[in-house]
Chains A and B, each alone.
Chain A
């Protein structure tokens, strides 16, 4: 076994060699542990050997060891200072390079628009209801006061599965399903997919989205219908938009109305406007007071209760709002189309 002095010399060499190589704080700490660690540090172990020496030897050796310890501590402190000073070593070479952005998937524009509509109505205390896409003739037509073989059905050209079953041509059958189950007051909107036997063209497809609204209670009036729809349209298109209510016909409402909004593209100033055709108005939704026959079909007394309903095409409204020229864009799912609405 080598003498204490020999090992001390070895350690001093080792230390100065290691100390010349370390740079980072972690390495400095490792070096400290190697020599000064509480249990196994080289110097710690040497100090432990002191107890085996004579008091005379202890005194000299103790001083030498203590000097070495001070030397180590001073050197380590210096190294730490250097390490701290060299911290900004990783320079940003070119901060003008683009940052690391995260890609968020894009909701479908129909989803975005539908949610906007839902939010407006939910803020007015409406609940959201849904219903089946495959319907019976009863719910889709008869209960909504379409007599069999009536030309009124022509505007709701239907895709049939068999004699009884069809693809719903509007969201209105859900009105019936809700009123059968729930007694007034009713205050709902019904978004969903609907189907018509339409030959595809820029504004027609055999499948599209609608949202339906229904309020039933005592004392509900046409004035309430107007007030609510005006609020809705303004919330959707902005406060300055103008509306026009005009009489129309739907078998399930009486009186019935169609609502036009001012053309947001030309405000009626362009006779060649491809959005409004120069009329200055764009038909946007159908509405009316719930027909008394519809109430009778669901055992609600039309003498006690009244209600209003409306229906709106989500695709068409979105087309108008964003000036999308072709309805088929919604279902082609071209990413260059879909992703635009992520930043709407």
Chain B
């Protein structure tokens, strides 16, 4: 809201300059966002709030300023040159929907000479950032920005049957507005109609046909009050926001209507106008003022500072509240109708605090009486998982939760996507069902900007419709690695990433999170190349997958290099109990190791070898580790060679060579049965 320093002085004899005034406005929450010098005036752009329609006019701001500086608010007289005929001789006003129009005031001014406004009025209008139009239009704007009460002026002669009917629009009705647009009306919208058609959309905008023109001489002034919700719905539907709708949807003061009509009429008298006798005021249901109890001790309890009762009374009185002391330091406050925001005791305490000054309230430590024990370790586990990935050289990214439905289709994630009703753009019109598209976009972005390799991960939700139309959001981990690895030294040279870089990181996540029961099995999937992917299982339940991304998918993102990626269902993983830690004694006796190289049929995978190695029943066998695997070269084409190192240890003594020799013979014989191995 633009506020003019000079205009404020119409309502209060300010004894402070523009800078002190700006500081004062800031203190009471009417934040000055910018200051502009214009001729001899200072114009402030102040921040106003949705619950303070009273600050949308200079009178309201003047009331705040007067209270802050302890000055009286001036009362202005608006004399009228009256005709002898009463208003009702010229116009009939009927409210068919008093819910949506609680009050409607009208006055008629005859003999107005429409023409340019005088300089003082033009300055006021320009101060508001508007262009002066003519005296009648400028006066209605002047009244609006003075009192915060929008008024509308009609050409009386264009109002058919001299009747104003406030009613809902009829099906099929339309109106051409002052802006020249023809708008279709729907039956939920409130209109101002004459005997046959709408002449204005109530509280939003007037009609072109009934508007003021150069030839207008008889002006009908409308100063009414409309239901805020109805105005908001109408304005939203029509995609219109006017100075009038902005004020009405925040809740204009029904008691400001008569004064605004009178002020407008009085000003029109300066241009030859003669006003009909008496205000026509249709006000079917008058409202009693609200009262709120205020206790001085509650102020201290909420603000943490004792405030003098005299200060409380003077501030609230200055703001137009009528205070009656019930008993010592307890008041009943009658709330003026222009303060729609004051409903509870806390609202009054805020008023006291604003004028007391937030800066004067002391700063204290928030006391603690008890601490909550950490409820679950989920957040710590997520951080640990991230640390594992940092350690493996993966950078963290965060992508938008929105996705492009076309791109999403390439993946066939199998989830039914959640569509947004009012997306920012069609390319962001669904929520992602998969983290990998975002990671691929990141890879492309960085390859286009000098990166030679991209190794990234994201922890975030995916979203989809679950069974029975329940919306689901699932915490997910996506990992991608492609191109050269980061941070190679001059000794090693460049190294390209591979599948095992990814798998190692995934295995380490499970290892360090304490999920020992993880296993992998071959996977055929819409994301990956055949036979180049694995599903990740925790106790037989699939919790993720990893592999070499399908070429077609990578190509659709313009990526030519092999892309390895993984996606893990963190929501599922993290809700499972991890291994409980227990200390194991450090071995007292030396262990020993033996290597074994053997051949198996080429179609046997390491996983099958591993399962058989795990099944070995050998005394003192502590563990084993694969250290080589190859095919071809000197081998027959139908064979694979594996080399495994076995570790042996006795807990209470040093092992004898012969014992280990015997164990190795046992291993060989067991593997000959289970895997049909041939020794190399």
Contacts and interface: CB of A to CB of B under 8 A. Distances in A.
B52 A245 contact: no
Interface stretch (A27-35, A39-47, A58-66, A219-227): A219-227
B454 interface: yes
B365 A228 contact: yes
A199 B28 CA distance: 31
B395 interface: yes
Interface string B600-616: 00000000000000000
A162 B465 CA distance: 13
B250 A151 contact: yes
Nearest to A303: B298
Given A222-B304, A246-B31, A255 B473 contact: no
A335 B446 contact: yes
B27 interface: yes
B362 A193 contact: no
A184 to B, nearest CB: 10
Interface in B402-458: 402, 418-424, 428, 442, 445-446, 449-451, 454-457
B16 interface: no
A125 B364 contact: no
Question: What is the size category of the interface that chain A forms with chain B?
Answer: 35 or more
Nearest to B375: A127
A132 B418 CA distance: 15
B367 interface: yes
A228 B304 CA distance: 13
A221 B451 CA distance: 53
Interface string B326-341: 0000000000000001
A152 B51 contact: yes
Among A185, A198, A249, A339, which residue has the most Cβ atoms of chain B within 10 A? A249
A106 interface: yes
Contacts of A248: 29, 31, 49
A226 B364 contact: yes
B384 interface: no
A37 interface: no
B445 A333 contact: yes
Interface string A306-340: 10100000000000000000000011111110110
Given A306-B301, A306-B302, A331-B400, A159 B367 contact: no
Nearest to A191: B379
A342 to B, nearest CB: 8
Interface in B359-409: 359, 361-372, 374-375, 379, 383, 386, 389-402
Given A101-B489, A227-B364, A333 B399 contact: yes
Given A98-B490, A334-B449, A105 B392 contact: yes
Interface stretch (B85-93, B253-261, B348-356, B663-671): B348-356
B471 A104 contact: no
Contacts of B183: none
A127 B368 CA distance: 13
Interface string A251-288: 10011111000000000000000000000000000000
B504 to A, nearest CB: 14
Given A185-B370, A306-B301, A336-B449, A223 B361 contact: yes
A128 interface: yes
B471 A217 contact: no
Contact of B353 (A111, A187, A255): A255
A195 B400 CA distance: 10
Among B364, B386, B399, which residue has the most Cβ atoms of chain A within 10 A? B364
A245 B31 CA distance: 11
B487 A133 contact: no
Contacts of B28: 247
B594 interface: no
Contacts of B424: 159, 197-200, 206
Nearest to A221: B304
Contacts of B50: 150-152, 154-155, 249
A226 B363 contact: yes
Contacts of A333: 397-399, 442, 445-446, 456
A246 B626 CA distance: 67
A87 interface: no
Given A127-B372, A207-B402, A219 B367 contact: yes
A161 interface: yes
Contacts of B485: 103
Contacts of A185: 369-370
B229 A223 contact: no
A148 B393 CA distance: 49
A228 B400 contact: no
Interface of B: 26-29, 31, 49-52, 228-229, 232-233, 246, 249-250, 301-305, 341, 344-347, 349-350, 353-354, 358-359, 361-372, 374-375, 379, 383, 386, 389-402, 418-424, 428, 442, 445-446, 449-451, 454-457, 460-461, 463, 471, 473, 485-487, 489-491
Given A97-B490, A128-B379, 12 more contacts: A107-B390, A127-B372, A134-B473, A159-B421, A193-B401, A197-B424, A207-B401, A223-B364, A247-B29, A248-B31, A256-B350, A335-B454
30 contacts: A100-B491, A101-B487, A102-B487, A103-B485, A105-B393, A107-B396, A111-B398, A127-B375, A130-B379, A134-B471, A151-B50, A151-B246, A187-B372, A193-B460, A200-B424, A221-B364, A222-B304, A222-B361, A223-B305, A245-B358, A246-B27, A247-B353, A254-B347, A302-B346, A306-B301, A330-B398, A334-B446, A335-B395, A335-B451, A335-B454
Interface of A: 97-108, 110-111, 115, 124-125, 127-128, 130, 132-134, 148-152, 154-155, 159-162, 165, 167, 185, 187, 193, 195, 197-200, 206-207, 215, 217, 219-228, 230-231, 244-249, 251, 254-258, 289, 291-293, 302, 306, 308, 330-336, 338-339
